[in-house]
């Protein structure tokens, strides 16, 4: 239940473990007293224990939400799972069966229970295979981490055989081994990456990972109750008044009149606000009504709804109201870079008249918005082909509020290996990092979990979709299926259908939700299997049965406001009505669907002929090391701080081992790819016997510099495709966040520290950006201004050649106008000797590109750099850096010698935040520092995530590529 308790003071040195025990002994009676007249009781207020398979471990548990690893950590039996090689040494936890037991006697003695007419046991999430018993009697066996479960336990508590609530968890690993086919995760409705991925560990946690409650329903009493957005944890005030009903599910779907999965929204049509409640009740109500109101808009309406029963045929009362609001009444929600993410409070009031002329009332506010989002998959017309120069094929892009836009963003994975300890603060920083870097879309990867709406909605634990709503960032959502040939049988489908329905209903209210994709990468796997495996068409038939014929009707029956597509990477559709996938039914030369790209051959990292020409890129990436400071969080020995140390390599899971071998026998391949990338394109860090930590730090930084170079080149390529035949309108980088401290594709490290790429994205994701496209094969340089604005944009670009001492060799100014969603050529030259300044070769010079444009009444500036050869060959000069530091964490950087290529500021361990340019206010780090052109950066700290609240300015470090060879 949380909260502060006045009058209780704890000694500063009291440990968390001692404090939890003390509070449980002192405050438990107080908590239950607070709930004496309540109808929602958090089971975390009860006394819980955790035991292993044979009973040799029996420890206190803090109760839901929790997982076995976390309770063992709190008890001091294991150390932090993310330390060292604990992902290997703690594997014994995976094969154990863990049992959680709670003493429910305080609840049975409470007035809340004794005055109840009906008692529900609500689990918002169990991870994953569990047998539940209550009062010595069976409740249910469950096997799906992504479902909420509500059980009527009135009859069980009427004659209890004991006073225990028991959740007996079976190892998900051993459960999966019960099936005859190889592999485990496709048989278990659990976070797929819990079993390991190429960017994360395999802890396979188990527990009651979301809150659980007893809900007691009273007889009608004529009282009014205000609750939070259902399905609700304790209400907005922390205490509920008695009520005869509980809102188990809630859907708010806002769309245009006539809109459906196969019918595009008519932008001028009325809005439809479709509200559905799933209600549990202790009493029959013959004439209930539902009132909907947007007070900020001055509109409301009351609807008579269907009779509410104590025992409805399917176990839940479904009531529904469909309200039409003229298009002109609300303002629309937009992604932050295209407009204002306007939100409104919708007040929903359920009135329940009883025979005593009394009316029980339950009311809640929920935050929502009005927008249309469409996934356009229609064929391009002959006019598009002939007049606009579009390559034949199908559209594949999103429209928001009737307009096509460029989707700029990244992919997200789970925020922590243990869902139960994920916090809103850490997630908010990741989403803020996306917004600060100019992103307007995050893809919620299908191998993770359904992201929560808010901590208090359906036991969410932390916030996600509500944050996306507020910050104006779209969330491409996926059903949880990834990279497997999923079996089709009634046993599986019976569990999947309620899972999907519950999550679609819950997410409907969020205007940030952009679509539902059936899963991740499976279409390509399955079509390949159909061609290469014996009887492979069997697998293709099963795929069509699941993702076309089964999941699509479920999703589209629950929402009209967002599209469905079968897979994250898809060749699109032959038809939307009836829904028929294209699969391999393609016309040669035409372009369909979207795509992904992973190429680990660094020698062709900037060869545009290897880049896909595609309508939309939803995944592309390269891996890099986390920073030295992040390694400090988990490495426990000085000998570990080396690029190829056993512990560091054990955290490179690319390519995955495919078995339980430790350390990953394939790690040398992934390490080698990063090594070769650095050696091909950057000065190789020298081995320093006197300062090996600095060598390691430069290696970590160098892998990030290449990572940035490679990804920014691809983003620029896809963005410029908006003005080409492919009409590319999407680039989502793999990936944004990390799940632990290790080798990964992320642009933000596990602690929240920005990598070089995250700053690079802040530049290349600007509304108007400049980029030098160099084609080595024909020695052609093409400099483009690229815009994602809906209106034409004018501006100027300054192109300046320097030598590595910082001398200006030549400079030219160019003006440009970029049409809507297009690009404009600023410079085009062929022949290296023609391009280079007279008297200089490629190793001696580089070009600074500066762009200035007016966008939405404000000035946008962007800088990029062109080096006509590999930086490994460049004749770098000692930059002789001077730094002026102030106590407000402002740093003025000066190069007194030569140019500092990829100048980089590191903030010290324990601090979290970003560097911004004091002149532009934009994120700035990882740039070319030129003598005579000082840069002043301010460190904007996140005080919530920073353990060190007052870092010393002298603890902020500087590095550049010069330091690779001068350690």
> How far, CA to CA in Å, does 176 sit from each of 131, 179, 539, 792?
16, 6, 20, 56
Q: Are 703 and 629 in contact (CB under 8 A)?
A: no
Name the active-site residue from 521, 523, 596, 633. 521
Nearest CA to 187 out of 444, 488, 413 is that of 488
Residues 6+ apart with CB under 8 A from 332: 339, 342, 369, 370, 371, 401
Residues 6+ apart with CB under 8 A from 734: 410, 411, 596, 598, 619, 620, 621, 745
- 936: helix, coil or strand? strand
* Long-range residue pairs from 864-868, CB within 8 A, at least 24 positions apart, any chain: 864/763, 864/764, 864/769, 864/770, 864/771, 864/772, 865/927, 865/928, 866/772, 866/774, 866/781, 866/783, 867/901, 868/774, 868/832, 868/835, 868/836, 868/842
660/357 Cα distance (integer angstroms): 67
**Strand ranges in 33-148 using DSSP code E only, listed in sequence order:** 40-42, 47-51, 58-61, 98-103, 118-123, 129-134, 137-142
Nearest CA to 188 out of 127, 125, 132, 144 is that of 144
Query: Which tokens sit at 36?
Result: 């004496």
Nearest CA to 189 out of 423, 430, 446 is that of 446
Residues 6+ apart with CB under 8 A from 548: 566, 579, 580, 581
**Strand ranges in 713-803 using DSSP code E only, listed in sequence order:** 730-733, 768-775, 780-787, 793-803
Token pair 């038809």 in the structure block, residue: 575
Is 954 among the residues known to form the active site?
no
523/519 Cα distance (integer angstroms): 9
Query: Which tokens sit at 762?
Result: 């802040």
Cα angle: 337, vertex 339, 340; to 5 degrees:
110
* Long-range residue pairs from 543-551, CB within 8 A, at least 24 positions apart, any chain: 543/485, 543/486, 544/581, 545/488, 546/486, 546/488, 546/518, 547/481, 547/518, 547/519, 547/522, 547/523, 547/581, 548/579, 548/580, 548/581, 550/493, 550/496, 551/479, 551/496, 551/500, 551/518
Beta bridge partners of 624: 744
Element containing residue 916 per DSSP (H, E): strand 913-917
Cα angle: 662, vertex 665, 668; to 5 degrees:
125
DSSP character at residue 33: H
Cα angle: 797, vertex 803, 804; to 5 degrees:
115
How far does CA 726 lie from the centroid of its chain? 28
Cis peptide before 735 (omega within 30 of 0): yes
Q: Are 613 and 703 in contact (CB under 8 A)?
A: no
Cα angle: 201, vertex 206, 210; to 5 degrees:
110
DSSP character at residue 127: B
Q: Count CB atoms within 10 A of the CB of residue 926.
A: 25
Q: State the maximum Cα–Cα separation within the chain, in Å, rounded to a whole number.
A: 98
Element containing residue 623 per DSSP (H, E): none
φ, ψ for residue 42, nearest 5 deg: -70, 125
Beta bridge partners of 324: 272
Residues noted as catalytic: 521
């Amino acid at each position: 239940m949380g909260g502060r308790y006045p009058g209780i003071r704890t000694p500063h040195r009291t440990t968390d473990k001692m404090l939890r025990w003390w509070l449980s002994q002192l405050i438990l009676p107080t908590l239950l007293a607070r709930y004496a007249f309540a109808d929602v009781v958090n089971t975390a207020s009860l006394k819980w224990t955790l035991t292993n398979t044979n009973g040799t471990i029996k420890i206190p548990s803090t109760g839901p939400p929790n997982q076995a690893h976390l309770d063992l950590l709190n008890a001091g039996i294991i150390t932090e799972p993310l330390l060292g090689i604990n992902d290997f040494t703690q594997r014994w936890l995976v094969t154990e069966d863990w049992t959680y037991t709670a003493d429910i006697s305080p609840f049975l003695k409470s007035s809340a229970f004794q005055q109840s007419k009906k008692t529900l046991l609500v689990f918002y999430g169990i991870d994953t295979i569990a047998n539940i018993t209550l009062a010595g009697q069976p409740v249910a066996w469950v096997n799906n981490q992504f479902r909420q479960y509500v059980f009527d336990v009135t009859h069980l508590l009427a004659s209890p055989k004991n006073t225990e609530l028991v959740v007996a968890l079976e190892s998900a690993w051993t459960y999966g081994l019960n099936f005859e086919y190889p592999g485990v995760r496709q048989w278990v409705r659990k976070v797929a990456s819990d079993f390991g991925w190429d960017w994360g560990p395999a802890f396979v946690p188990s527990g009651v990972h979301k809150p659980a409650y007893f809900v007691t329903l009273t007889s009608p009493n004529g009282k009014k109750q205000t609750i939070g957005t259902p399905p609700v944890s304790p209400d907005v005030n922390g205490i509920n008044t008695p009520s005869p009903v509980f809102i188990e599910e809630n859907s708010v779907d806002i769309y245009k009149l006539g809109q459906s999965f196969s019918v595009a929204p008519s932008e001028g049509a009325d809005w439809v606000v479709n509200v559905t409640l799933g209600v549990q009740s202790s009493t029959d109500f013959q004439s209930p009504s539902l009132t909907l109101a947007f007070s900020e808009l001055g509109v409301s309406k009351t609807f008579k709804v269907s009779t509410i029963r104590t025992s409805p045929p399917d176990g839940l009362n479904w009531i529904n109201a469909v309200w039409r609001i003229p298009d002109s009444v609300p303002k629309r929600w937009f992604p932050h870079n295209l407009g204002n993410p306007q939100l409104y409070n919708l007040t929903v009031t359920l009135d329940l008249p009883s025979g005593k002329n009394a009316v029980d009332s339950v009311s809640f506010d929920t935050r929502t918005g009005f927008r249309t989002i469409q996934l356009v998959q229609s064929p391009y017309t002959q006019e598009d082909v002939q007049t606009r120069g579009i390559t034949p094929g199908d559209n594949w892009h999103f429209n928001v509020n009737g307009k096509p836009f460029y989707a700029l963003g990244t992919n997200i994975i789970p925020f922590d290996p243990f869902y139960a300890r994920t916090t809103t603060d850490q997630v908010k920083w990741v989403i803020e990092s996306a917004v600060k870097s100019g992103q307007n879309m995050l893809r919620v990867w299908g191998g993770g979990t359904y992201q929560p709406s808010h901590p208090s909605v359906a036991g969410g634990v932390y916030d996600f979709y509500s944050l996306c709503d507020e910050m104006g960032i779209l969330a491409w959502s996926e059903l949880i299926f990834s990279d497997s040939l999923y079996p089709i049988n009634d046993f599986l489908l019976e569990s999947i259908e309620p899972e999907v329905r519950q999550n679609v209903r819950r997410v409907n209210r969020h205007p940030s939700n952009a679509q539902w994709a059936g899963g991740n990468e499976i279409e390509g796997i399955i079509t390949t299997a159909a061609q290469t495996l014996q009887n492979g068409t069997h697998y293709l038939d099963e795929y069509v049965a699941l993702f076309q014929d089964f999941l699509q009707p479920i999703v589209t029956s629950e929402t009209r406001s967002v599209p469905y597509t079968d897979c994250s990477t898809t060749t699109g559709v032959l038809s939307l009505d009836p829904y028929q996938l294209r699969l391999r039914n393609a016309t040669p030369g035409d372009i369909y669907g979207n795509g992904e790209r992973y190429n680990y051959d660094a020698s062709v990292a900037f060869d545009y002929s290897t880049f896909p020409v595609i309508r939309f890129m939803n995944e592309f990436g390269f891996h890099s090391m986390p920073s030295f400071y992040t390694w400090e969080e988990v490495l426990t020995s000085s000998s570990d701080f080396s690029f190829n140390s056993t512990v560091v390599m054990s955290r490179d899971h690319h390519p995955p081992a495919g078995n339980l071998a430790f350390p990953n026998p394939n790690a040398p391949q992934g390490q080698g790819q990063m090594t070769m990338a650095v050696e091909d394109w950057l000065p190789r860090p020298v081995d320093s016997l006197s300062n090996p930590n600095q060598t390691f730090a430069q290696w970590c930084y160098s892998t990030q510099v290449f990572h940035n170079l490679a990804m920014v080149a691809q983003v620029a390529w896809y963005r410029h495709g908006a003005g080409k035949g492919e009409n590319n309108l999407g680039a989502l980088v793999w990936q944004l966040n990390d799940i632990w401290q290790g080798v990964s594709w992320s642009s933000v490290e596990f602690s929240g520290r920005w990598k070089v790429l995250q700053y690079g994205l802040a530049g290349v994701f600007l509304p108007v950006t400049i980029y030098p496209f160099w084609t080595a094969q024909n020695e052609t340089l093409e400099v483009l201004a690229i815009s994602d604005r809906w209106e034409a944009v004018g501006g100027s670009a300054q192109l300046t050649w320097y030598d590595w001492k910082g001398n200006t060799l030549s400079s030219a100014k160019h003006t440009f106008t970029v049409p809507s969603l297009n690009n404009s050529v600023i410079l085009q030259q062929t022949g290296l000797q023609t391009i280079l300044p007279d008297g200089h070769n490629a190793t001696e010079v580089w070009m600074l590109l500066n762009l200035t444009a007016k966008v939405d009444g404000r000035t946008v500036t962007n800088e990029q750099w062109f080096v006509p050869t590999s930086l490994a060959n460049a004749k770098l000069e000692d930059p002789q850096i001077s730094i002026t530091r102030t106590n407000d964490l402002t740093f003025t950087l000066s190069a007194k010698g030569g140019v500092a290529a990829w100048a980089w500021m590191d903030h010290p361990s324990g601090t979290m935040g970003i560097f911004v340019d004091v002149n532009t206010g934009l994120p700035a780090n990882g740039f070319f520092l030129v003598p005579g052109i000082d840069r002043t950066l301010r460190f904007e700290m996140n005080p919530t995530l920073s353990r060190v609240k007052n870092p010393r300015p002298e603890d902020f470090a500087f590095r550049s590529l010069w330091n690779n060879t001068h350690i």
